[in-house]
Amino acid sequence: MRMTLDQYIEAHTSPAEPLLDEIVRYTHLHTMNPRMLSGLIQGKLLATFSAMLQPRRILEIGTFTGYATLCLAKGLAPGGEIHTIERNDELHDTLLSFFRRSPQANQIKLHTGNALDLIPTFHETFDLVYIDGDKREYAAYYHAVFDKVRSGGYIMADNVLWDGKVTAEPLPNDVQTQNIMAFNDLVRDDERVENLLLPLRDGLMIIRKM
Ligand SMILES: C[S@@+](CC[C@H](N)C(=O)[O-])C[C@H]1O[C@@H](n2cnc3c(N)ncnc32)[C@H](O)[C@@H]1O
Specify the ligand 1 atom closest to the Cα of 67: 9
> Closest Cα to atom 26, ligand 1: which residue?
64
Return all residues near 108 (Cβ < 8 A) that are at least 6 apart.
69, 70, 73, 81, 82, 84, 99, 102
Asked if residues 84 and 111 have their Cβ atoms less than 8 Å apart, the reply is yes
pLDDT per residue as tens digits for the range 177-205: 999 999 999 999 999 999 999 999 999 99
How close is the Cα of 114 to the center of ligand 1, in Å?
Answer: 10
Among 160, 122, 121, 153, which Cα is nearest to 139's?
160
Asked if residues 60 and 154 have their Cβ atoms less than 8 Å apart, the reply is no
- What is the pLDDT at residue 1? 82
pLDDT per residue as tens digits for the range 120-178: 999 999 999 999 999 999 999 999 999 999 999 999 999 999 999 999 999 999 999 99
Domains defined for the chain, CATH in brackets: 5-209 (3.40.50.150)
**Residue whose CB lies within 8 A of the most ligand 1 atoms, among 132, 156, 163, for a mutation test:** 132
How close is the Cα of 133 to the center of ligand 1, in Å?
Answer: 4
CA distances from 42 to 47, 68, 108 (A): 9, 8, 20
| CA atoms of 54 and 107, how far apart (whole Å) | 13
